[in-house]
Amino acid sequence: MSNLVEDNPAKHRFEILVDDALAGFTAYLVRGGVLVFTHTEVDTRFQNMGVGGALIRGTLDQVRARGARVVPQCPFMSAYIDKHPEYADLVAEPS
């Protein structure tokens, strides 16, 4: 199973494709150099397969590469960052 995380700026979300099928997304709002993540959803066909974690990891890696920061309003992303403190430096204080 191959997966790919891509930003879809037109829809304001990062999407994860599994074998070319949309398996999930994490939605964001842009606030300057900060991305406020509001909601994460994984298709029921792909739940409990690590797709959500792969989506968040790929998203945060791309945010880091851009030099941006995140506000994880989404409980799933927030919990992921709590469990993976190597991403804690990406969290911006909410304004």
**Any idea where the domains of the chain sit in the sequence?**
3-90
CATH topology classification for 3-90: Aminopeptidase (3.40.630)
Digit-coded pLDDT (tens) for 22-42 = 999 999 999 988 999 999 999
Digit-coded pLDDT (tens) for 50-95 = 999 999 999 999 999 999 999 999 999 999 999 999 999 999 976 5
**pLDDT tier at 1, thresholds 50, 70, 90:** low
At 94 the pLDDT is 60
Report the distance separating Cα 20 and Cα 84, nearest Å. 27
Contacts of 53 (CB under 8 A, 6+ apart): 80
